[in-house]
A and B are shown apart, each in its own frame.
Chain A
Amino acid sequence: MRVAFTLNGHRVEVDVESSETLLDTLRLRLGVKSVKRGCERGECGACSVLLDGRPVVSCLLLTVQVEGREIVTVEGLYGDELFEELFEEFSKNFAIQCGYCTPGMLLTSYALVKRASGGPLRVSGDHIVKAIEGNLCRCGTYPRVVRAVSRVLERRLPSGSRL
């Protein structure tokens, strides 16, 4: 089946079997290697992508299902102010060890901060923990990820307040 969708701001068209997952299309056909193959059953979040701005797992999405939709991976976020800020904090706080979960972790965090910044900020450390529940990190960087995301969120709070 012929499928057209937007990938990181560019229109792409692929000819795929109906049974092909978006994970395979991204990695094997389109060379998007930030999207990692993990458990392949929706449990680890290494293959997370943003679908119309919301985090989803690409291992449980058929490519034919994203016709006309917008997919964003970290490749498409380089240069984005918020993304660069998050990435900087991930580095500063050593929120990365082996790095396998990092693209997914960054995408989920990006979506969280983006949403929190969209309306009145109602985010706490618990919200960060809840948001990244679907991103497993077997190195155990969770507290560092929470710290990194907190720093970014705090900068968006009224001056002086902390999360």
Chain B
Amino acid sequence: MYYKLPRIEYYRPKTLEEAVRLLEEVEGSKVIAGGTDLLVDMKTSRAKARALVDVNSIAELRGVEDLGEVVRIGAATKLQELLESPIISENLPLLRAAVESMASWQIRNMATIGGNLCNASPAADTAPPLLAYEAELVIAGRGGLRTVPITKFFTGYRRTALSPTEVLKDIIVRKSEWTGWGYIKLGRRGGFTLSVVAVAALARVRDGVIEDVRIALNSVAPTPVRAYRTEEALRGREVSRDLLEKVARTVVDEISPIDDVRSTAWYRREMSYRLALDALTEALGVK
């Protein structure tokens, strides 16, 4: 196979304003960050673009910052940088676990967290942890900046709240006192694999009572999803193995998996239940 990319114009703006202006003025232009999804899609004609606006040279889009109450992640930060960031390991262990399961070293050196979100694959691996943390997304456009909660960002299969002339700038995660977390990704093989289903869980348990809990999954619906009803059934209850086994099944009613090349709808439902049970067991510290 000898893939050929179509002819494209290439721009590498140094500022966010310039990037937004280019996206507005250049017809058929698209943002390129890591390129690890976009260029594959362009090679296979799944994505089309006449011009690419490369956001990798925009300094304010890079890096991880501890701002006290929140952690700010620049959208064009490479996945490998997240993996190596002490700020991430210390404050967002759930996100770190997900990133560690992603792709290969080469791809993590290229791919960005913003690209993973904006590409909006149902299998996006950074989505479940960020949905669980309820990250805020700062988006730059003509009118300046606006903030969208990640729970409102994925609007449909490979669709997001982002307009074609907007650029995702930051991912902001509020630090919270979670007492535990659990992350399990099931793939077709151990490494460098897309998820068949992944479950991310966060919990805050005080005196044996579940104060708060969040569960998010990918690859089991048109978008990555939160399992709100399962969370609701757990909140305020006393932690027990019995409760978990009764409630974890609820996730199956909150997803709509399909048969595809990686798995079947039936298997995804079964595994969503099993993995939710296991991730919650870990997050809640159930013996």
Chain A residues close to B by CB (< 8 Å): 1, 17-21, 37, 39-43, 45, 48, 51, 54-57, 60-62, 64-65, 67, 108, 129-131, 133-135
3 closest Cβ pairs, A-B complex: A134-B104, A18-B10, A19-B5
Q: Does B186 interact with chain A (Cβ within 8 Å)?
A: no
Q: How far is the CB of A126 from chain B (nearest CB, A)?
A: 11
Which DSSP category, helix, strand, loop or mixed, fits chain B's interface?
loop
Q: Which single residue of chain A is at the shortest CB-CB distance from B80?
A: A54
Q: Does B271 interact with chain A (Cβ within 8 Å)?
A: no
Q: Give the distance in Å from the alpha carbon of A19 to the alpha carbon of B7 in the complex.
A: 6
A134 touches B54 (CB 8 A): no
Partner of B109, one of A20, A40, A56, A64: A56
Partner of A62, one of B10, B104, B192: B10
Please name 16 pairs of A and B residues whose Cβ atoms are closer than 8 Å in the assembled complex, sorted by A.
Answer: A19-B7, A20-B5, A21-B39, A37-B2, A40-B1, A40-B2, A41-B3, A42-B36, A55-B105, A56-B106, A57-B107, A64-B12, A108-B106, A130-B105, A130-B191, A133-B104
**Chain A residues in 8 Å Cβ range of B109:** 51, 54-56
Q: How many A-B residue pairs have CB under 8 A?
A: 80
Query: Given A42-B40, A54-B109, do A19 and B103 touch, yes or no (CB 8 Å)?
Result: no
Partner of B107, one of A40, A108, A134: A134
Q: Give the distance in Å from the alpha carbon of A149 to the alpha carbon of B9 in the complex.
A: 42
Q: Does B63 interact with chain A (Cβ within 8 Å)?
A: no
**Chain A residues in 8 Å Cβ range of B9:** 18
**Chain B residues in 8 Å Cβ range of A51:** 109
Q: Which single residue of chain A is at the shortest CB-CB distance from B4?
A: A19
B105 touches A108 (CB 8 A): yes
B5 touches A134 (CB 8 A): no
Which of B30-80 touch A at CB < 8 Å? 35-36, 39-40, 43-44, 52, 54, 56, 80
Contact with A along B90-121 (1 / 0, CB 8 A): 00000000000001111101100000000000
A40 touches B43 (CB 8 A): yes
Q: Which single residue of chain B is at the shortest CB-CB distance from A37?
A: B2
A42 touches B106 (CB 8 A): yes
Q: Does B6 interact with chain A (Cβ within 8 Å)?
A: yes
**Chain A residues in 8 Å Cβ range of B10:** 1, 18, 62, 64
Partner of A45, one of B39, B106, B191: B106
Query: Given A61-B35, A61-B110, do A21 and B5 touch, yes or no (CB 8 Å)?
Result: yes
**Chain A residues in 8 Å Cβ range of B52:** 18, 62
Most A CB contacts (10 A, CB to CB) among B1, B7, B106, B192 go to B106
Most A CB contacts (10 A, CB to CB) among B6, B9, B44, B192 go to B192
Q: How far is the CB of B153 from chain A (nearest CB, A)?
A: 25
Which of B1-34 touch A at CB < 8 Å? 1-10, 12
**Chain B residues in 8 Å Cβ range of A21:** 5, 39
Q: Give the distance in Å from the alpha carbon of A40 to the alpha carbon of B44 in the complex.
A: 11
Q: Give the distance in Å from the alpha carbon of A62 to the alpha carbon of B32 in the complex.
A: 11
Query: Given A1-B10, A21-B5, A61-B35, do A133 and B40 touch, yes or no (CB 8 Å)?
Result: no
Query: Given A1-B10, A18-B8, A41-B3, do A62 and B35 touch, yes or no (CB 8 Å)?
Result: yes
Q: How far is the CB of B258 from chain A (nearest CB, A)?
A: 23
Q: Which single residue of chain A is at the shortest CB-CB distance from B78?
A: A54
**Chain A residues in 8 Å Cβ range of B8:** 18-19
Query: Given A48-B106, A65-B54, do A133 and B192 touch, yes or no (CB 8 Å)?
Result: yes
Q: Which single residue of chain B is at the shortest CB-CB distance from A21?
A: B5
**Chain A residues in 8 Å Cβ range of B191:** 129-130, 133
**Chain A residues in 8 Å Cβ range of B43:** 40-41
